[in-house]
Amino acid sequence: MGSLTLLTFIPAAGAAIVALLPRDNPKLVRWFSILVTGIVLAIAVSLYPQFDRGIVGIDQEATFQFVEKGAWIPAFNINYFVGVDGLSFPMVLLTALLCFLCIPASWGITKGVKGYHALFLLLETGMIGVFVALDFFLFYVFWEIMLLPMYFLIGIWGGPRRVYAAIKFFIYTLIGSLLMLIVMLVFYFNVRDPVTGANTFNMLHMMSQANHGGIMSLNHVRVLLFFGLYICFAIKVPVFPFHTWLPDAHVEAPTAVSVILAGILLKMGTYGLLRISYPILPDATHSFAWFLAVMGMINIIYGAFCAMAQKDLKKLVAYSSISHMGFVMLGMSALTDAGINGAVFQMFNHGTITAMLFLLVGVIYDRAHHREIDGFGGLANVMPRYLGITSVAFFAGMGLPGLSGFISEAMCFIGAFPVWRTLTIISIGGIVITAAYLLWTIQRMFFGETNPKYADLPEINGRELFTLLPLAAIVIFLGIWPHPILGLMNTSLSYLGELVRSVAPL
Amino acid sequence: MTFNPSDLWAVAPEMVVLAVALAVILIELLATRREGVLQGVAAVGLLAVMAVAVWSLGRPTGAFNGMVARDGLTVFVKLLLAGVALLAVLMSRDYLMGLDKSAPTGVREEVKGNPPLPPPAIAGGEAGVRHGEYYALLLLATCGMMVLASATNLVTLFLGIETMSLALYVLAGIRPERPRSGEAALKYFLLGAFSTGFLLYGMALIYGTTGGQTNLSMISKAVADLGDGAPVMLFAGVGLLMVGLLFKVAAVPFHFWSPDVYQGAPTPVTAFMSVGPKAAALMAFIRLFGWALPDLADVWGPALWMVAAATMTIGNIVAIAQRDIKRMLAYSSIAHAGYLLIGVLAAGSPGVRSAATASMLFYLVAYFLMNIGAFTIAILVSRARPDGDYQIDDYQGLGASHPYLSAAMALFMISLAGIPPTAGFFGKLYLFSAGVNAGLVTLVVIAVLNSVISVYYYLRIVVYMLMRPQPSPVEVRISPAMTAVVLVCVVGVIKFGVLPGSMMDWARSGAENMAQPTPQVVVDVNDPSQIRQSDR
């Protein structure tokens, strides 16, 4: 069994074992889950030195790494085909890291501990599976596997309006999935395996334009397919106007689930665009890159203004995610080296930064049992350490130099500026708004008069620090020396940009 | 025409089923109050049927002068039907025993008040259901379905339908003390008799217009010979035949009986009825329309297209409004029949015929597992209630007190909704891709939209179980037999949802390995000498 299979299925096996553990021993369940996610993280990290940064992946089977391939459903020519390249490997690392940190962050869950952890581990299988799958069908199945645990985690362990939020999330995502299913079947029936001539779900075969036939050679069909995929992925990102499920889901979800939702699930949208839409439909992508850029700009500005208007801290962070995912959209739409590299680096950085933000919201919510920004005040005196670590996360979100967010945002803008000049200039305005709402929030929460109600809130504890400090260290480290992650992706992403740029628009 | 002893292999499973049915009746007479023995004999008998079915597999051929087929398809379907019956038998004893205990005391006293009444000589007690009779009827219905699924002649087709239906009419009304059961039986019987009339009339018209043919492949030849000159009576006959079969499948607009019958019939019978007759009737559909009458696809195709679209849409939309889980599952099974009709339509285009048949077989297996599983849990939950009712509200908060049971139910609901990684997803994928391949894109889009609608009511059960507080604690007792049924269904749904390859291969080889036998002796009604010859 290869490393990627282990990475993908160890959590699922762990979930099965968790379901069989005794119900009256939540501690055992928690520690066992830490063990499982820890093993996954260890395997993922152990792959890091083995990963060859010089080879491309994307559409070349020979240069994918840790590849495993075997027949799964021969009747439909569906293969179990996994592998990583510079696009997916950073996402796998991020997933393994966040899942590991989320288990201690879920210590406060007391209801249905077993079910929670089993679903959480199953979710990890789905997420890693999506990032390593190279067969479209396999990708789809993992995509759907992810959906159900998330639905249950929000719907069972969420806040007061959890059922509404969970169903809204489920229906939005399901509509996206069904669009993807239809697009996938159109691909399947119109792409031929170059060797056998049979229909195929192999993404790499789909990426070779020579294998396309039937209705896929019609321009208007390709545009429809592109937008079918776009809507599916835009719901996940989420891009305006498909974003309305996100604030609801985030507000109701428990802390760790919000972390996963914002830290990883949102990345699936942009990952899907880069992994599927870009190389399979490069001509349509090239034609409609302007559209992605416009949507990215709208997300940046709209998300930032919405965040500014929020009274609930968690909703503020949720809208800030929408805004930050706009940077990713803008960067990748430019198709330049700097733009695409910046976009994927921003995906990684946003994963760590937003995870910190949600964890920090969870810390204060566990103590005060509300998240009203105006309900606090003067927390700096009460919880100075909490203020310190919050500042790191907020400043990283603002894109302050020396922190990882700055590098990726700057790269997105540098990449986008020569291509979309006006859009980029407007988008940069988003940074100002971001700084405004984050600083204003710090001011309202931490400075001023100390609210006597919260004068004796306990300081952030060791378990919480354990979840936050590694992320803070990564944010600072990558802000100074981004090469360890940027170096992983550069070869693949520059190739991907070239692949799309070199194809004439429709 | 000579009798060939090897022909008996073709009906070996049916013969074993019949033998077991008779054995059950005899045992009930000899051994009193041995419900466990009866159940065991029926279950072991069905396992033997499965073994014999596998054993009877051979080169695709016909038997009894082209009356029935002996091929991979029939073996596959007979295995499926025996499996359905087996699980129904396994879940029946608990259900029937529960009835005996909860039977109204008034009835019991009244009977006891009669001095000349002999001591109870039948299993199941005075007011309850006679177990032996019940199992025997179940097995007889299975026998009828098997005949129906292997029929390659209008006569055997009719024989199968009637054997199946008569047993089911009685089973639906086997609880005379419940008015609803009686209502179900009467409705089913009256409407069923009516549909039989349609069926028979259609057969008569086909017989008349094809020059006295009853064998399906001879009909096919006769229709091809007629070409464009086919009389209107032939079309009328095909239409009437379709109505008769659609009634058995419970397709819109011939579905009105099914929710009432499903609700009123004993739940194990409902579970059995929601899968078995559908599977058997759909096989008859495939043989009749897909293989014998593809030349007339222009005639029956559009009609069936509309029926399929209406069936899935109405089934799903009405299911949303249901508050009773048996009625909800009844409408859901109407919707699933609509999906399955896509397979019949796809089988009408010659290039996709095998693939479409195979996809239907796979879908039926998946549907069998998830539906029987759901009904089993419905029985368990209703038995935990004092009034034995089937309200969806009873599922509120079940997850807190019965996490495993709720997880299993959630799995069945997710599979019924067609979400991966479950058997239901691959069933839909296989079926819909056969539809796309046959050019039924619009219908498949309607089906996909319907799947989204269905998610709403399937997930409502899940929401009730896992995301709502429990109003009052319930204690669900689960016997080993019930556990076995649920486990088989859970394992099957997951197995065919993760590794569906083997079942897809079996379904495909079953569909490809299909016989459409012709009679060796053809009687020409227009030739008087032959009629006299055959009379002798």
Residue A96, Ramachandran bin (φ over 0: left; ψ between -120 and 50: alpha; else beta) = alpha
Contact of B242 with B195, CB cutoff 8 Å: no
- Other C-beta atoms lying within 10 Å of the C-beta of residue B211: 15
**Amino acid present at B248:** K
Write down the residue that tokens 């009866």 correspond to: B38
Interchain pair A72, B508: CB under 8 A: no
Q: Where are the domains of chain A?
A: 3-501
**Angstroms from A335 CA to nearest CA on chain B:** 34
The answer on pLDDT for B120 being more than 80 is no
Tokens of B124: 């199941």
Query: How far is it between the farthest Cα atoms of chain A?
Result: 74
A72, A139, A191, A232, B448 from A75: Cα distances, Å: 9, 18, 16, 27, 22
Q: Which of A72, A141, A178 sits opposite B420 (nearest CB)?
A: A141
**Angstroms from A48 CA to nearest CA on chain B:** 30
The answer on pLDDT for B167 being more than 50 is yes
**Rounded CA separation B93/B95 (Å):** 5
- Other C-beta atoms lying within 10 Å of the C-beta of residue B106: 10
The answer on pLDDT for B521 being more than 70 is no
A398, B38, B64, B129, B513 from B122: Cα distances, Å: 82, 12, 39, 9, 45
Residue of A294, A413, A311 lying closest to A372 (CA atoms): A311
pLDDT at B423: 93
* Residue B114 banded pLDDT, cuts 50, 70, 90: very low
Contact of A455 with A325, CB cutoff 8 Å: no
Residue of B137, B124, B122, B168 lying closest to B42 (CA atoms): B137
Interchain pair B433, A185: CB under 8 A: yes
The answer to which of A474-483, B27-36, B87-96 has the lowest mean pLDDT is B27-36
Residue of A465, A475, A343 lying closest to A414 (CA atoms): A343
**Amino acid present at B304:** L
**Rounded CA separation B207/B510 (Å):** 29
**Rounded CA separation B481/B378 (Å):** 15
Q: Which residues of B touch A19 (CB under 8 A)?
A: 407
Q: Which of A109-113, B309-313, B497-501 has the highest mean pLDDT?
A: B309-313
Interchain pair A148, B459: CB under 8 A: no
The answer to which of A236-240, B362-366, B531-535 has the lowest mean pLDDT is B531-535
The answer on pLDDT for B529 being more than 80 is no
Q: Which residues of B touch A112 (CB under 8 A)?
A: 399-400, 403
**Rounded CA separation A96/A132 (Å):** 13
Interchain pair A189, B437: CB under 8 A: yes
Q: Which of B419, B445, B451 sits opposite A144 (nearest CB)?
A: B419
**Angstroms from A492 CA to nearest CA on chain B:** 31
Tokens of A454: 């919260």
A74 touches chain B (CB under 8 A): yes
Nearest CA in chain A to B437: A189
The answer on pLDDT for B112 being more than 90 is no
Q: Which residues of B touch A71 (CB under 8 A)?
A: 501
Residue of A353, A354, A337, A345 lying closest to A484 (CA atoms): A345
pLDDT at B1: 55
Nearest CA in chain B to A178: B448
Task: Give me chain B's average pLDDT, please.
Answer: 85
* Residue B182 banded pLDDT, cuts 50, 70, 90: confident
Residue B227, Ramachandran bin (φ over 0: left; ψ between -120 and 50: alpha; else beta) = left
**Which phi and psi angles does A72 have, rounded to 5°?**
-115, -60
pLDDT at B30: 84
Contact of A307 with A320, CB cutoff 8 Å: yes
ipTM over 0.85: no
Contact of B278 with B145, CB cutoff 8 Å: no
pLDDT at B2: 65
Contact of A41 with A97, CB cutoff 8 Å: yes
The answer on pLDDT for B532 being more than 70 is no
* Residue B530 banded pLDDT, cuts 50, 70, 90: low
A142-153: pLDDT as tens digits: 998 888 899 989
Interchain pair A76, B433: CB under 8 A: yes
Interchain pair A75, B504: CB under 8 A: yes
The answer on pLDDT for B125 being more than 50 is no
pLDDT tens by residue, chain A, 506 residues: 788 899 999 999 999 999 888 888 888 999 999 999 999 999 999 999 998 888 888 888 888 889 999 988 888 888 899 999 999 999 999 999 999 999 998 888 888 888 899 999 999 999 999 999 999 999 999 998 888 899 989 988 888 888 889 888 988 888 888 889 888 888 888 888 888 888 889 998 888 888 888 888 888 889 999 999 999 999 998 898 888 999 999 988 999 999 999 999 999 999 999 999 999 999 999 999 999 999 999 999 999 999 999 989 999 999 999 999 999 999 999 999 899 999 999 999 999 999 999 999 998 888 888 888 888 888 888 888 889 999 999 999 888 888 998 999 999 999 999 988 999 999 998 899 999 999 999 888 888 888 888 888 888 888 889 999 999 999 999 999 999 999 889 999 999 998 898 888 88
Nearest CA in chain A to B355: A75
Residue of B124, B253, B262, B246 lying closest to B187 (CA atoms): B262
B372-403: pLDDT as tens digits: 999 999 998 888 877 778 888 888 888 888 88
Query: How far is it between the farthest Cα atoms of chain B?
Result: 79
**Angstroms from B346 CA to nearest CA on chain A:** 16
A291-313: pLDDT as tens digits: 999 999 999 999 999 999 998 99
* CA neighbours closer than 13 Å in the CB half-sphere of residue B466: 31
Question: Which ranges of A51-112 would DSSP assign to H, the alpha helix?
Answer: 89-105
A21 touches chain B (CB under 8 A): no
Q: Which residues of B touch A185 (CB under 8 A)?
A: 432-433, 436
Tokens of B311: 């069936």
pLDDT at B271: 93
Of all residues in chain B, the percent with pLDDT exceeding 70 is 91
A432, B101, B380, B382 from B478: Cα distances, Å: 63, 16, 7, 12
Residue of B430, B419, B425, B303 lying closest to B357 (CA atoms): B430
